[in-house]
């Protein structure tokens, strides 16, 4: 009986060694695996932050078809950097659409950060076709708190990863547009 335990241990150890040593024989299966045809697509190189000295908010001179307003931000005589638009369609609450005119990759999404005036807001933006090119755009309810950095009178910054940081000079126009968009449209009373 005293030799049974060491023999059992030896048999157990031998069977473990056999299990560890068992490997399947080589096969051609590994050679027939499908390799990707194209290299994976990655994001474009990051864009530098634009110079915003002298940039201002101005009325775009274009009201949207749903009785909204639109302002653009940029240096006079150059392409706009940002646009802010109130969108009303009567079937849903008023919306604000923000556009960062910077090249975006097809199908991309990001979070735009708005920082300033004692607030910080983050809102989702996607690569959207804007006048025939992809740019960053997001449309959300005007009542959302993440618009608050734009509503104040001081400077702020808007950042989209890879699209640079846009320093926004002080202006009352974004706050006025946001306040007007948040207010319900007045309905004229019918004549008696």
The answer to the question of residue 89 being in a domain is: yes
**What pLDDT, on the 0 to 100 scale, is given for residue 127?**
93
The answer to the question of residue 135 being in a domain is: yes
Whichever domain contains 96, its CATH number is 2.60.40
Average pLDDT over residues 64-93: 85
Phi-psi region for residue 84, left (φ > 0), alpha (ψ -120 to 50) or beta? beta
**What is the dihedral sign for C-alpha 97, 129, 127, 112?**
negative
Q: Residue 52: is its pLDDT beyond 80?
A: yes
Contacts of 102 (CB under 8 A, 6+ apart): 47, 81, 135, 136, 160, 163, 164
Reported confidence tier of residue 15, pLDDT bands at 50, 70, 90:
low
**What pLDDT, on the 0 to 100 scale, is given for residue 65?**
41
The answer to the question of residue 84 being in a domain is: yes
The answer to the question of residue 119 being in a domain is: yes
Reported confidence tier of residue 126, pLDDT bands at 50, 70, 90:
very high
- Spatial distance between the Cα atoms of 92 and 140, rounded to a whole number of angstroms: 11
pTM over 0.85: no
The answer to the question of residue 130 being in a domain is: yes
- Spatial distance between the Cα atoms of 16 and 29, rounded to a whole number of angstroms: 28
**What pLDDT, on the 0 to 100 scale, is given for residue 189?**
47
- Pairing between β-strand 109-116 and β-strand 156-159 as defined by DSSP bridges: antiparallel
The answer to the question of residue 124 being in a domain is: yes
**What pLDDT, on the 0 to 100 scale, is given for residue 21?**
60
- Spatial distance between the Cα atoms of 18 and 13, rounded to a whole number of angstroms: 9
- Spatial distance between the Cα atoms of 54 and 174, rounded to a whole number of angstroms: 17
The answer to the question of residue 104 being in a domain is: yes
Q: Residue 67: is its pLDDT beyond 90?
A: no
Count of the separate structural domains present in the chain: 1
The mean pLDDT of the chain is 82
Out of 37-51, 63-77, 131-145, pick the least confident: 37-51
The answer to the question of residue 83 being in a domain is: yes
- Enclosing domain of residue 144: 56-182
Q: Residue 153: is its pLDDT beyond 70?
A: yes
**What is the dihedral sign for C-alpha 99, 101, 102, 103?**
positive
**What pLDDT, on the 0 to 100 scale, is given for residue 89?**
84
**What pLDDT, on the 0 to 100 scale, is given for residue 39?**
60
């Amino acid at each position: 009986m005293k030799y049974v335990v060491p023999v059992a241990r030896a048999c157990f150890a031998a069977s473990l060694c056999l299990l560890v040593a068992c490997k399947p024989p080589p096969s051609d299966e590994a050679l027939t695996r499908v390799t990707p045809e194209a290299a994976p697509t990655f994001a474009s190189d990051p864009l530098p932050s634009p110079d915003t000295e002298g940039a201002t908010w101005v009325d775009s001179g274009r009201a949207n078809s749903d009785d909204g307003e639109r302002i653009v931000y940029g240096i006079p005589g150059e392409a706009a950097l940002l646009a802010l638009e109130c969108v009303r369609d009567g079937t849903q609450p008023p919306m604000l659409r923000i556009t960062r005119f910077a090249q975006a990759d097809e199908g991309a999404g990001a979070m735009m950060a708005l920082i300033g005036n004692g607030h910080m807001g983050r809102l989702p933006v996607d690569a959207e076709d804007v006048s025939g090119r992809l740019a960053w755009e997001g449309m959300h309810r005007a009542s959302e708190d993440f618009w608050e950095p734009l509503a104040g009178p001081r400077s702020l910054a808007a950042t989209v990863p890879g699209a640079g940081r846009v320093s926004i000079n002080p202006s009352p126009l974004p706050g006025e547009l946001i306040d007007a968009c948040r207010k319900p449209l007045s309905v004229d009373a019918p004549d008696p």
